[in-house]
Structures are given as structure tokens and as C-alpha cells.
Amino acid sequence: NAGVTQTPKFQVLKTGQSMTLQCAQDMNHEYMSWYRQDPGMGLRLIHYSVGAGITDQGEVPNGYNVSRSTTEDFPLRLLSAAPSQTSVYFCASSSRDRGTYEQYFGPGTRLTVT
């Protein structure tokens, strides 16, 4: 049981480039989310999903796209990278089977945009 996995661990992009951050979970969780962590600001929600085919925007969605075609995968796409998107990105999943909705986090992807 790998839990939540994210690839890549590190990435450097040039301004204007696009890329996809991968996230997968093997716990059959229906809920998945993407957060970004910037210094001094805690984690902020980018996009989330309550099931395959259903996604919605979080607090800071601009510049990012998501889709959820399977329960397991929830990729995050940067359409045209900007230096303001330099951050650490965390993917998380949770299930209502646990009454707490405890979120399980992946190890994070550190992205630098130059």
C-alpha cells in the first residue's frame, strides 16, 4: 500500500512552459485535493475532487487545471508557468469512511519557475 504518490519530486521550469504534476493514490479514496505551500502562508487549496469526473476550484485555482478520469489519479496541469507558481505542491486524499475525513498527503513536489 503506497498511499499517495507524487511525481516528480523536483522540477525546474522556464516561464511559459507547461507541465503536469502527477498524483496517485491506492487507498480507493473518493476525495482528492491539490495544495500549494509558500513560505509563511501555510497550505492553500488549488483544486479538489469529490469523485471521478467531478472537480472544483479551491482558493487559488488560477493558472492550474485538473481532471479526474479515475478514482486513483488526479493530475495537476500548469498551463503556462510563471515565477509566482514557484512553490511546493502537495496532493492529498481522504475518505468519508473515516468519520474524520483525515487527509493523507503525498511527499510533495518542489517546483521552481525561472
- Residue numbers of the site for other proteins (CB under 8 A)? 30-33, 35, 40-45, 48-51, 54, 56, 58-59, 88, 90, 92-94, 96, 99-105, 107-108
Taking the least distance from each CB to other proteins, the nearer of 26 and 56 is 56
Taking the least distance from each CB to other proteins, the nearer of 37 and 65 is 37
Q: Which residues have CB under 8 Å from 21's CB, separation 6+?
A: 6, 7, 8, 11, 34, 75, 76, 77, 78, 89, 91, 109, 111
**What is the distance between the alpha carbons of residues 99 and 74, in angstroms, rounded to a whole number?**
23
Evaluate whether 21 touches 85 at the Cβ level (below 8 Å).
no
Taking the least distance from each CB to other proteins, the nearer of 45 and 82 is 45
**What is the distance between the alpha carbons of residues 112 and 81, in angstroms, rounded to a whole number?**
9
